[in-house]
């Protein structure tokens, strides 16, 4: 298992080319993955990572080049064929069936052939076993769609872990996972590695790259910039390879920004809650201040944001904005009142895939202005272009259907829509899910700058570093309860971890 793995590559991709209208997504890319290695595939948003692995796994047809599996040329024309060849994939956007149960999602199409008929007892046992390998305990008879993105992601991973797997491809599997789930996943990856399975791992978390990978390949603008053993590439080198420039001092810039001032209270929740969803909580958002929302997976972060936004109805407590208490909160009323919300699940709740980037970006603005006063086309184009430039969304033009953007760039469109509506209160749920290192720093900076301009922000995130970097104050969640607040000045990673863990000690 030395980094310089010799011998026969399990997968060899040679001179792969793929062109989409207006974009050369891959240009003569070579990639070799050896048995028993974890190969990190890195690059900016839109670099071509997902496209490359979609070609390997039969989800896309290549325009040129060849693929060899154990030295034999193969022509993978569908994900089904890929599975037959032992290539299992977890795609970036969960592509399971939300209306079906967890059991069905884990077993359908996998057991059918062998048993002829489906034995549900067997299927449930199998599903249970797959999930327990990941340390996941959920009700497997519930529909998949009733779980959070992170949980759906875990189910997708569990599905891909198959005995016949020879190549495992993971496209940003940890994008919405917490430390614990990530650790469990890495444990399994190490097991699989020991069994000689070749693993491709895409992520934007550099810590994870150094923790788990043996070799690294970096893509930029559809070109392979370099490949090498992880131990021989420093963090700085890696960032420079990915971005084509140094990251600079952004990371330290925002830490110095911390606020203590007291802005006007723009949103207050008193005893706001909902039975079986969230215990009543108090929270105040002030102009010019960012409040972080930390907690483990399933602790109720998303639910807090949705309650404040009116996407979930509360059944107790009062929510007040500057104008007074809010009755019958709804997303539309919240937006009209000057709020904006970025949902964590961009595919299911964020974007309208068929519509263009421009149409997605102006949607909230237009909803705010009402249906009668349509924003003139020229203004729409100007706003869309501004946002594309400000957030560096990689696209040939604003008319591209948003579903054709890379994952990270789709995430930027969700942010752009919220920004374009010029809100005074912004509720961000996992705002940087799937966003690359360069853009990540810029988005945190953007958040800080918005605060300076007097916006009130709520930033919910599973990444503690992000919470620490972005927020002045942090509210901590556990078991669907807000267990406390960390005041400005005391916001550190350790303090948050201690508070999250705090009560557990007491209970023993």
Partner 1 sequence: MTDVARLPRRRDRVARPGTHRALWPLLALAVILIVDGMISPNFFAIRIVEGRLFGNLIDILYRAVPTALVALGMAVVIGSKGVDLSVGSIIAISGAVIAWRIHAGDPHFVILLLALAASVVCGMWNGLLVAGIGIQPIVATLILMVSGRGVGMLINLLYGGTDPSFESALLQGLSTGHLWLIPTRLILGAVLFVALWLVIRRTALGLFIEAVGGNAAAANLAGVNARLVTFAAYVICGLMAGWAGVILTADTHTSDPVSVALYIELDAILAVVIGGGSLAGGRIYLGMTVIGALVIQALTTSILISGLPPEYNLIIKAVVVLFVLVLQSDNARTRIGQIVSGGRR
Ligand X SMILES: Nc1ncnc2c1ncn2[C@@H]1O[C@H](COP(=O)(O)OP(=O)(O)OP(=O)(O)O)[C@@H](O)[C@H]1O
Q: Which residues bind ligand X (CB under 6 A)?
A: 20, 23, 25, 43, 45-51, 92, 394-395, 404-409, 434, 436
> Is residue 474 within 8 Å of 491, Cβ to Cβ?
yes
For ligand X, the closer CB: 92 or 421: 92
Residue 405 binding result from Mg ion, ligand X, partner 1, none, given CB thresholds of 5 to 8 Å by partner type: ligand X
Residues 6 or more apart in contact with residue 222 via CB below 8 angstroms? 18, 23, 24, 25, 26, 27, 29, 47, 48
Classify the C-alpha dihedral 301-306-307-312 as positive or negative.
negative
Pick the closer one to ligand X by CB: 433 or 448: 433
Rounded-to-integer distance, Cα 414 and Cα 425, Å? 16
CB of 222 to partner 1, least distance (A): 8
Binding flag, residue 92, Mg ion (CB under 5 A): yes
Residue closer to partner 1 (CB basis): 35 or 350 = 350
Q: How far is the CB of 74 from ligand X (least distance, A)?
A: 21
Stretch that binds Mg ion, among 47-55, 281-289, 328-336, 338-346 (CB under 5 A): 47-55
As given in the structure block, the two tokens for residue 100 are: 């079906």
404 binds, among partner 1, Mg ion, ligand X, none (CB under 5 to 8 A by kind): ligand X
Using CB under 8 A as the criterion, what x/- string covers residues 11-50 for binding partner 1? --------xxxxxx-------------------xxxx---
Question: Binding to Mg ion by residue 407, rule CB under 5 A?
Answer: yes
Sign of CA dihedral 312, 315, 321, 326: positive
Rounded CA separation 455/5 (Å): 52
Q: Where in 137-166 is the site for partner 1 (CB under 8 A)? A: none
CB of 92: closest distance to partner 1 in angstroms? 17
**Contacts with partner 1 in 94-133 (CB under 8 A)?**
none
- Per partner kind, with CB cut-offs from 5 to 8 A, the member of partner 1, Mg ion, ligand X, none near residue 86 is none
Tell me the DSSP string of 419-439: HHT--SEEEEESTTTT--HHH
228 SS3 class: strand
Give the interface segment with partner 1, choosing from 51-59, 103-111, 259-267, 393-401 (CB under 8 A).
393-401
β-pair type (316-321, 265-274): antiparallel
The stretch near Mg ion (CB under 5 A) out of 85-93, 105-113, 147-155, 300-308 is 85-93
Burial class (CB in 10 A: 0-12, 13-18, 19+), 377: exposed
Work out whether the CA dihedral 416, 391, 255, 208 comes out positive or negative. Answer: positive
Instruction: List the one residue out of 507, 30, 39, 480 whose CA is nearest residue 277.
Output: 480
Q: Give the footprint of partner 1 on residues 231-270 (CB under 8 A).
A: none
The minimum distance between CB 221 and partner 1, in angstroms, equals: 5
Q: Which of 182, 406 has the CB closer to Mg ion?
A: 406
CB neighbour list of residue 490: distance below 8 Å, 6 or more residues apart: none
Question: 263: closest CA among 290, 240, 241, 299?
Answer: 290
Compute the distance between CA of residue 254 and CA of residue 448 in angstroms, rounded to an integer.
7
* Out of 9, 438, 448, 466, the residue judged to bind partner 1 by CB under 8 A: 438
- For partner 1 (CB under 8 A), the number of binding residues is 50
User: Judged by CB, which is closer to ligand X: 175, or 482?
Assistant: 175
Q: Which is nearer to Mg ion, 50 or 380 (CB)?
A: 50
Residues 348-367, interacting with partner 1 (CB under 8 A) = 348-355, 359, 363-364, 366-367
- Residue of 80, 104, 107, 81 whose CA lies nearest to 161: 107
Cβ proximity of 237 and 257 under 8 Å: no
- Please pick, from the candidates 50, 105, 356, 380, the single residue that binds Mg ion as defined by CB under 5 A: 50
Of the two residues 138 and 367, which places its CB atom closer to partner 1 in the complex?
Answer: 367
Which residues here bind partner 1, judged by CB under 8 A? Answer: 19-24, 44-47, 75, 221, 309, 311, 331-332, 334-336, 341, 343, 348-355, 359, 363-364, 366-375, 392, 394-396, 417, 421, 438-439
């Amino acid at each position: 298992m030395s980094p310089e793995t010799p011998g026969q590559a399990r997968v060899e991709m040679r001179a792969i080319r793929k062109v989409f209208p207006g974009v050369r997504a891959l240009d003569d890319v070579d990639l070799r993955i050896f048995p028993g290695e974890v190969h990190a595939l890195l690059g900016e948003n839109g670099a071509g990572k997902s496209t490359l692995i979609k070609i390997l796994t039969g989800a896309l047809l290549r325009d040129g080049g060849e693929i060899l599996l154990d030295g034999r040329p193969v022509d993978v024309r569908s994900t089904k064929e890929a599975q037959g060849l032992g290539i299992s994939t977890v795609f970036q956007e969960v592509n399971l069936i939300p209306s079906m149960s967890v059991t069905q999602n884990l077993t359908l199409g996998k057991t059918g052939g062998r048993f002829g008929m489906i034995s549900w007892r067997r299927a449930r046992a199998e599903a249970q076993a797959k999930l327990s390998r990941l340390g996941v305990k959920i009700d497997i008879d519930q529909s998949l769609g009733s779980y959070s993105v992170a949980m759906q992601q875990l189910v997708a991973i569990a599905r891909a872990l198959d005995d016949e797997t020879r190549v495992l491809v993971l496209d940003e599997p940890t994008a919405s996972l917490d430390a614990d789930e990530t650790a469990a996943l890495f444990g399994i990856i190490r097991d699989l590695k020991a069994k000689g399975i070749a693993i491709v791992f895409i992520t934007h978390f550099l810590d994870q790259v150094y923790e788990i990978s043996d070799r690294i390949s970096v893509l930029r603008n559809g070109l392979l910039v370099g490949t090498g053993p992880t131990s021989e590439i420093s963090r700085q080198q890696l960032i420079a390879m990915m971005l084509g420039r140094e990251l600079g001092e952004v990371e330290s810039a925002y830490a110095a920004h911390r606020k203590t001032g007291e802005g006007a209270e723009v949103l207050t929740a008193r005893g706001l809650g909902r039975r079986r969803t969230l215990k009543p909580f108090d929270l105040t958002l002030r102009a010019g201040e960012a409040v972080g929302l930390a907690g483990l997976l399933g602790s109720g972060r998303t639910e807090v944001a949705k309650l404040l936004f009116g996407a979930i109805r509360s059944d107790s407590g009062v929510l007040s904005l500057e104008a007074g208490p809010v009755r019958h909160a709804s997303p539309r009323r919240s937006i009209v009142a000057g709020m904006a919300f970025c949902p964590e699940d961009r595919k299911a709740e964020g974007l309208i895939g068929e519509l263009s980037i421009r149409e997605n970006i102006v949607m909230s603005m237009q909803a705010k202005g009402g249906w009668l006063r349509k924003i003139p086309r020229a203004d729409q184009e100007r706003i869309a272009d501004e946002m594309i430039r400000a957030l560096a969304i990689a696209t040939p033009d604003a008319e591209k259907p948003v579903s054709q953007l890379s994952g990270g760039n789709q995430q930027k469109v969700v942010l752009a829509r919220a920004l374009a509506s010029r809100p005074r209160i912004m509720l961000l749920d996992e705002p940087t899910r799937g966003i690359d290192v360069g853009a990540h720093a810029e988005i945190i900076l953007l958040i800080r700058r918005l605060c300076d301009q007097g916006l009130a922000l709520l930033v919910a995130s599973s990444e503690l570093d992000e919470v620490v970097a972005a927020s002045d104050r942090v509210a901590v969640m556990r078991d669907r309860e807000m267990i406390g607040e960390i005041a400005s000045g005391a916001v550190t990673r350790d303090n948050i971890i201690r508070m999250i863990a705090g009560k557990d000690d007491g209970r023993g």
